[in-house]
Amino acid sequence: MVFGDSLAAGYGLSQEAGWVNLLKKRVQTVSQATVINNSISGETTAGGRNRIEQALRNHRPDIVILELSGNDGLRGASIGSIRDNLEAIIEACQRHKATVLLTGMQLPPNYGMLYTQKFQDIYTQLAKRHGLKLVPFLMAGFGDKRHFFQADGIHPTAQAQEMMVENVWKVLRTMLKSGQVVAYEDN
């Protein structure tokens, strides 16, 4: 189950063009897995914390790809609250026997070096503390290239979606077991 925000919901793109749909196709080439997209544009870690239990009960995923925090960072939320909310989501997944793949995010430099570094450090700290697999930066390979973003400068274009799939796939493929189900479901 992909549990994320507008980046996973495919904001500004056709559903077929989003990285989660592309991931579904990639997964199906090697597995009978299913990929559930439980992502909401505008979602924050607090919103995710409030809805994770229901999502876990409804979908019973083996793996949760956790892609939240970008909206928190862009709003300048406290580092402590972002970390606490992500940790609560991770712990809920673990209580439900779901393995978490955490996807990291980075902020533009105009948020200040101290805040952006502390924000980026959240992911490695949580991955280490909870023994999680980590995609260090979902937008690795293009995050600093303006032409890979829509007019808003925040949401990646259709062209960038394949790079996001590659960043996730490098780690996810090591987590898939033979016959395991991962799932795609329209919202």
CB 176 within 8 A of CB 62: no
Q: How many whole angstroms separate alpha carbon 182 and alpha carbon 177?
A: 10
User: Known catalytic residue: 96?
Assistant: no
User: 90 with 100: CB under 8 angstroms?
Assistant: yes
From 6, 59, 62, 69, active-site residue: 6
Q: Which one is catalytic: 5, 59, 62, 155?
A: 155
- Pure H helices in the chain: 6-9, 19-28, 45-59, 70-74, 79-95, 113-130, 158-172
Can 41 be counted among the known catalytic residues?
no
Among this protein's residues, is 31 annotated catalytic? no
Angstrom distance (rounded) from CA 111 to CA 77 = 11
Question: What's the rounded Cα separation, in Å, for the pair 141 and 116?
Answer: 18
For residue 99, what is the enclosing H or E element? strand 99-103
Determine which one of 14, 147, 152, 186 is catalytic. 152
**Catalytic center residues:** 6, 152, 155
